Amino acid sequence: MIRRVKISSLLLDYTLYPRREVDALQVSRMAEALRAGRKLPPITVDEKSKRVIDGWHRIKAHEQLKITTIEANLKAYKDEAEMFLDAVRLNATHGRQLMTYDHTRCIAKADELNIAPEAIADALNITVERCDKLREVRFASYAGKPVALKRTLGHLAGTKLTSRQAGFLSRAGGMNQLFYVNQVIGLVESESIDWENTTLVVALNRLYGLLKKKAVQIKAGVG
């Protein structure tokens, strides 16, 4: 059932969102298309809860242009598992390609909802074997639940995360750790550090102190 609905009445529930985040560039492109008079496909919304199943970027594009209503396909779902599978299926078949971390997050959520491996693999357009591999190399646990790991913390696969590790995971950029270390080394060696930036200098001093403390611990055999 296609209807024009108020955006303010819709709920963007991140627990149902298959992607790591909304892509600002994709939103800008859609907003530009709307300015040019293009009509975007209707979003998909759970009829009862008004949770958005598919169309986050389209909603953000409308909001960017101060458009208060949007066309929506209102659908009835029997439960959250069915909603989530449809969200994954729709996002995997159009728009920006889902990344490996997106796949891993979706598999973790599917496990939490007791969705069959075959069903989530089908929704993601990947094989069950690929799902099993991601569980092996990109899964840890925290508070008794499966957690999808970004590449930055991939070496922690199969472990129980501490609260500090779980907290950092949400802030981690996603590249491998050597990338970030080499970035700092490159900045120092090329004399490109902004030494006038007080906040940056304080952070570098903190990093120096942490590395010095860790070196002492390792030397003492306790690190």
Q: What is the average pLDDT score of the chain?
A: 94
Residue 152 scores a pLDDT above 70: yes
The average pLDDT across 122-140 equals: 95
pLDDT digits (tens, 9 = 90+) for 31-54: 999 999 999 999 999 999 999 999
Per-residue pLDDT at 178 = 97
Integer-rounded Cα radius of gyration of the chain: 22
pLDDT digits (tens, 9 = 90+) for 90-124: 999 887 889 999 999 999 999 999 999 999 999 99
Residue 4 scores a pLDDT above 70: yes
Residue 223 scores a pLDDT above 70: no
Count of beta carbons in the 10 Å neighbourhood of residue 185: 11
d(CA 107, CA 84): 11
Which residue, 84, 83, 78, is CA-closest to 105?
84
Per-residue pLDDT at 44 = 98
* Cβ contacts of 74-79, under 8 Å, gap ≥ 24: 74/1, 74/2, 74/3, 74/5, 74/45, 74/46, 74/47, 75/1, 75/44, 75/45, 75/46, 75/47, 76/46, 76/47, 76/48, 77/46, 77/48, 77/53
Per-residue pLDDT at 35 = 96
pLDDT digits (tens, 9 = 90+) for 157-199: 999 999 999 999 989 988 999 999 999 999 999 999 999 999 9
Per-residue pLDDT at 198 = 97
pLDDT digits (tens, 9 = 90+) for 62-83: 999 999 999 999 999 999 999 9
Per-residue pLDDT at 219 = 85
Domains and CATH numbers, the chain: 1-79 (3.90.1530.10), 177-219 (no CATH)
Per-residue pLDDT at 146 = 87
